[in-house]
Amino acid sequence: MRFVQDVPHAQFKIGLFAWNSKYIVKIEAGPYEQTYKISEMDLTDPDDVPTMLDEAFLATVAHRFQQMDIDWQATGERNGVL
Task: Give the CA-trace dihedral at 62, 65, 70, 71, to 10 degrees.
Answer: 140
How far from 31 is each of 4, 45, 65, CA to CA, in Å?
22, 30, 10
- Which residue range forms the structural domain that includes residue 74? 2-78
CB 47 within 8 A of CB 6: no
* Averages of pLDDT over each 10 residues, the chain, 82 residues: 95 96 96 96 87 96 98 96 84
The tally of domains found in the chain comes to: 1
| The pLDDT of residue 31 | 97
